[in-house]
Structures are given as structure tokens and as C-alpha cells.
Amino acid sequence: MHLDAIDAVIRDLYDGAVRRENERESPAEAVRELIKAGAGALRVPQAYGGPGLGVRALAEVLIDLAAADSNLSQILRGHLGLVEALRLRPAGAGRDRLLRAAAAGEFFGPAGAERTGRDLRSLSAYLAGEGDALYLHGEKYYTTGSLFADRLNVLVPYRNGYASAVVPRHAPGVEIIDDWDGFGQRLTASGTAVFTRVPVDPELLFPHEDAAANDYLDAFYQFVHSATQAGIIRRLAEDLAALVRGRVRSYPLAPVPSPRSDPQVLAVVGQVHSHAFAARAAVLSVADALGAWADAAERDPALLETAVLHSASAQVLNTRLAGEASWIFFDAASASALKSSLALDRHWRNARTVSSHNPAIYKAALIGQYAVNGALPGGFLNSRDEEPS
């Protein structure tokens, strides 16, 4: 069973996170083991060789994986998003081929965002026709995990909108540069991808023409971020309990000599564990809302609206919870927890980095817009047309 195999890999990865962080050890082998165990196939329908599990099952795996090593849950995000996008598309030769490839153990990497332009939708990458052939040109950044991929999902302008062009990672003209220099999520290979006259198979060119699917995928990609945040907070809670359990020295102002019996220290441990509980609950709520729309026989716009709001709310909540938990952590962990060899600062750095990819301020504004004016971005979502007061 996929879940048992994935769980075994995650358990093996758990204790090596500090070593990988301190030694800048490539996660390539870990990614291969996760994909081999079926982590990339969980949402692939049974008709295409996957187990066809629900979004909630995926959420549990992502939280467990992020608790072991949050670099790895981040690396899977692009792959999982493409699988989800393919699930939403009608059957077709290219779509079906890629779903079967995911079930067979291929790994997909993202190449969507760019560092130039006014915003994330300003793209310089482009498709060019030469006779009957189609070629991809351009440069991407934040290509998380693409260094380890079999295929790349490249976002390009297409007609009056956008399309995903899926090309082989090792095709002529593809170059992946591991130049991510952020202070967190250091081992995600979130660097640059360069495409120079890369052949594009027309069957693997997927226009983004479904507004509802586009809004769902925005919420889904954010859900993976929130699951990563929840896993980080859980690991914070586990690490803190272990540290306090092993502490033998206290402070002169402490009410009792043993940190293990100090009510103030224990209160901090309890707060961090409560943060982990709340973050996980938020992610599972998002997962249920996403699955209620994506896996239904008929897709109800009201269910999609709920999923979008739940996903945004989890981003706002988990960003706050992760920041607070990773700060108060050291109130109970003591100064000895500051040793670089323990790499405990990675929890704050990684949580802050994940949160920065999709700033919570915009998600909060989206929720506020809906709460006050009854409207959400997206042409398919109708305003309640209430009068302002």
C-alpha cells in the first residue's frame, strides 16, 4: 500500500534532517525514495494506475513529511499541483499519458514564476512556431524541485491567456541551475531554469481555460504551503518536548529547580503543541473543502467558494501560528538550544520562507473582501450584491 511505504520512507528521513541542513546534503535520494514509494501518485485515479486517494489523505502525508523535513514537502508541491490540474481536465492523450507517468513513478517539477515583470503573471518565456514544430524559450525562477524532475511544467502566455507546456527535464535546450540563496528552505533547489529552443509536444500543451479549475488550483497550491507550515509547527512541538525532557539546569528566577516541573516552561510547551494542533486542524479542514469540490460528480460553485476561503484562512492562521511557535520555542528551550549544530533555527527560517512565497496579507484581504462585500476574485464567483452600510 502506498501509505505504508511512504510512512516508512518518512520515518527514515526524520532523524537526518539536521545533518542534511548542516552539511547542505542534497535531498535527491530522499526525493527518489518518496516518489518510488508512491508519494507523487496518491491523487492519481485508479483508472490510470494510482490509488486515487482523497485530499485529506494527501494532507496527512504532507504534514508528516514536513515534520520530518519541510524541504521535501515543498519539493513535492509542483508535482502535486500538476497532478491535480490533470485530474480536473477532460480525458485526452496527453493528459492521460502524464497521469500514467505519475502513477509509474515519474516526478514533475514546476517552472512558472519569473523574476522579471510587474507581477507573477508577467511572463517573458514564450512559445515559438517553426513550420509545424513548436519550441519553448525563456527563463524561470523558483523552480522548486525541478533539478530532480523527469518533466517540467512550464507556464507560458498562450492565446489570450496562459498554458502549461510539459517538457522533458533532460531535453536539449533545458538547463537547471541550483542558485536558490534564500535563508530558508535551502535544500529545495528552487533556482533558475533556462529554456533554449526546447521542442514542445502539442499533446502536452494544456491551456488554462477553466476559471473554476484555475481558482481551485490556486487554493490547492496554497494548501500545500499550509500543510508544510503545519508540519514545521509539529516538529517544533516535538523538538521542544524532547529538549525540556532532557534539561537539567534552570534559572535563578525559576519557581522550581527542574525545568521538567516548571509550570512556566510547561506552559510554553503546551502553547506550541496547541499551535500544532490548530495548524493541523486548519489544513485538514482545507483538505476536506478541496475534496468536496474536486472529487464530486458535479462541481458546485458554492463548494469551490468555500474551498478558496478555507485555503486563504489557513494561510493567514498558519503563518501566524508558525511565527509565534518558532519564537516562544526558545523561552522554554533555554540558551543551549541556540547551538548551530542543532539547527533549530531552521524551523523559523523555513516557516518564514514558505510564508513569504504567498504573503498572508493578500489572503487576509481576500477574506475581508468577501466578509464585507460578498465577493471573491474570479469571474465564476458571483457577488451577493448586498448594499453597503
**φ, ψ at 247 (rounded to 5°):** -75, 140
Whether pTM > 0.85 for this model: the answer is yes
Nearest to 47 by CA among 82, 16, 91: 91
Q: In what order do the strands lie in the sheet with 133-140?
A: 126-130, 133-140, 192-199, 174-177
Helices H / strands E in the chain, number of each: 11, 8
**φ, ψ at 19 (rounded to 5°):** -60, -45
Give the pLDDT band of residue 46 (cuts 50, 70, 90).
very high
CA 270 vs CA 44, 244, 332: distances in Å: 38, 12, 10
Neighbours of 292 (CB within 10 A): 18
Same domain, 216 and 340: yes
**What pLDDT score does 201 carry?**
97
**φ, ψ at 276 (rounded to 5°):** -65, -40
- Asked whether residue 193 is domain-assigned, the answer is yes
**What pLDDT score does 182 carry?**
67
Nearest to 229 by CA among 340, 111, 316, 141: 316
Half-sphere exposure for 111 (CA within 13 Å, toward CB): 34
Q: In 252-359, which residue ranges form alpha helices assigned H by DSSP?
A: 263-294, 301-333, 345-357
**What pLDDT score does 357 carry?**
81
Residue 120 has pLDDT above 60, yes or no: no
Same domain, 248 and 337: yes
**φ, ψ at 236 (rounded to 5°):** -55, -45
> What 3-state DSSP class applies to 346?
helix
**What pLDDT score does 386 carry?**
34
**φ, ψ at 354 (rounded to 5°):** -60, -45
Same domain, 361 and 220: yes
- Asked whether residue 38 is domain-assigned, the answer is no
Domain residues for 322? 211-373
> What 3-state DSSP class applies to 250?
coil
Same domain, 224 and 183: no
What distance in Å separates the CA atoms of residue 376 and residue 210, rounded to the nearest whole number?
16
What distance in Å separates the CA atoms of residue 365 and residue 375, rounded to the nearest whole number?
11
| pLDDT single digits (tens) 336-389 | 889 888 989 899 998 998 888 888 999 999 999 999 999 886 543 333 333 332
Same domain, 171 and 272: no
What distance in Å separates the CA atoms of residue 322 and residue 230, rounded to the nearest whole number?
8
Same domain, 196 and 247: no
Q: Which grid coordinates are listed for 79?
A: 508535482
What distance in Å separates the CA atoms of residue 94 and residue 84, rounded to the nearest whole number?
15
Residue in this structure with the C-alpha cell 496562459, named with its chain if needed: 162
| pLDDT single digits (tens) 78-109 | 999 999 999 999 999 999 999 999 999 999 99
- Asked whether residue 227 is domain-assigned, the answer is yes
| pLDDT single digits (tens) 220-256 | 999 999 999 999 999 999 999 999 999 888 888 888 8
Between β-strands 174-177 and 133-140, what pairing exists: parallel, antiparallel or unpaired? unpaired
Cβ neighbours for 143, distance < 8 A, ≥ 6 positions apart: 78, 109, 110, 111, 152, 176, 189, 190, 191, 192, 193
Same domain, 238 and 185: no
Same domain, 228 and 320: yes
Average pLDDT over residues 160-184: 88
- Asked whether residue 384 is domain-assigned, the answer is no
User: Which residue among 208, 228, 253 closes a domain?
Assistant: 208
User: In the 3-class helix/strand/coil scheme, how is 107-148 assigned residue by residue?
Assistant: CEEEECCCCCCCCCCCCCCEEEEECCEEEEEEEECCCCCHHH
**What pLDDT score does 259 carry?**
86
Burial of 304 (0-12, 13-18, 19+ CB in 10 A): buried
User: Which residue among 208, 239, 268 closes a domain?
Assistant: 208
- Asked whether residue 58 is domain-assigned, the answer is no
Same domain, 257 and 325: yes
Same domain, 150 and 240: no
The one-letter amino acid code at 335 reads: A
Lowest mean pLDDT among 96-105, 173-182, 197-206, 259-268: 173-182
Residue 279 has pLDDT above 50, yes or no: yes
Q: Which grid coordinates are listed for 83?
A: 497532478
Instruction: Count up the domains in the chain and report the number.
Output: 2
